[in-house]
Structure 1
Amino acid sequence: MSDKKSITREMATEIILHAKKEKGLTFDEIAEIVGRHPVWTASAIMGQATMDEDEAEKLAQLLELDSGVAKALQEIPYRGSLDETIPVDPLIYRFYEMIQVYGTSMKSIIHEKFGDGIMSAIDFKMDIERKEDPNGDRVVITLDGKFLPTKKW
């Protein structure tokens, strides 16, 4: 792909995912080279986080992509990748379902423990692990966000 043609974030994601598949790499392997957590790296590849120049160049070099892709990864994204309609992908829908079922309970418990406020999605970490279980392997997701109290003025 020519450096002269401007590459959008969406195009960069498509190009990266194709190259990732062609090279048989995992997000863990890419993250190790980029120097970031695998979930954050996947988020940046999907267009939801901004890589700095060094991170973007490492990824482009690993996947043998041109500088246009690296430049696109450095643009500040428009965050929030899902449409306003209920997601139909079964895995993403289950997260929607979890929030529908447990969201008010989570909110109540957070407010009980911390007071009036929110959990940051900016000062935030996430981990996704596989836990072996004789009844079927488990998905363990840890959400770790800073508590931000509601301010009065």
Structure 2
Amino acid sequence: MKKVELTEAIINAKKEKGLSWEAIADAAGKSVVWTTSACLGMNSFPEDTAHAVLEFLDLPADLVADMTACPHKAWEKAVPQDPLVYRIYEIVGVYGDTLKEIIHEKFGDGIMSAIDFHMDVQKEENPKGDRVVITMNGKFLKYSVW
């Protein structure tokens, strides 16, 4: 099965069962952001996690091989050349649909404002290598219905 078809099967099972990404992540024993990203085909599942998700969603066990296959992380956009900007761009490419799914699930149909917005960048010292902590905080703007 192609990753696109696998993603469709997972999303359909999620909808049919009325599940949240959080519930699927709990069944997987992983974070909601990572689990959603993997379900959307942007990460590969470890075998035990694939089994747990398939069982939770009542999907065939023979899909494990497809879930554990390495994904092709590509999107059709112009790619920035600066390494730091490229990595942030890569994060949005890999996790953008995941963030969209989780934001819609928690807030409803809308967007995060880039006008009523602030961002913070902190350095977190870590013995394994210092960490970059980026916090984005934007007002949720619900789409109007008329």
**Corresponding residue for residue 108 of structure 2:** none
Q: How many residues matched?
A: 103
Deviations 1:81-116 (A, max 9, x none): x3237xxxxxxxxxxxxxxxxx9xxx8xxxxxxxxx
Paired letter, 2:25: A
For 1:27 and 1:143, how far apart are their aligned partners in 2?
Answer: 27
Q: Is the 8 A contact 1:51 1:74 kept in 2?
A: yes
Inter-CA distance 40–21: structure 2 relative to 1 (3 Å threshold)? same
- With structure 1 as the length reference, what TM-score do the two structures score? 0.53
Q: CA RMSD in A?
A: 3.8
Question: Of residues 12, 21, 42 in structure 1, which corresponds to 2:6?
Answer: 12
For 1:46 and 1:16, how far apart are their aligned partners in 2?
Answer: 8
- With structure 2 as the length reference, what TM-score do the two structures score? 0.55
Q: Structure 1 stretches of 5 or more lacking a match?
A: 1-6, 86-102, 108-116, 131-137, 148-153
Report how far residue 8 of structure 1 moved.
Answer: 1.5
For 1:143 and 1:12, how far apart are their aligned partners in 2?
Answer: 36
Question: Of residues 21, 25, 39 in structure 2, which corresponds to 1:27?
Answer: 21
Structure number with greater Rg is: 1
Question: Of residues 51, 54, 59 in structure 2, which corresponds to 1:60?
Answer: 54
Inter-CA distance 79–62: structure 2 relative to 1 (3 Å threshold)? same
Q: Is the 8 A contact 1:20 1:63 kept in 2?
A: yes
Report how far residue 146 of structure 1 moved.
Answer: 4.5
Q: Structure 2 stretches of 5 or more lacking a match?
A: 104-111, 122-129, 133-146
For 1:43 and 1:36, how far apart are their aligned partners in 2?
Answer: 11
For 1:11 and 1:70, how far apart are their aligned partners in 2?
Answer: 14
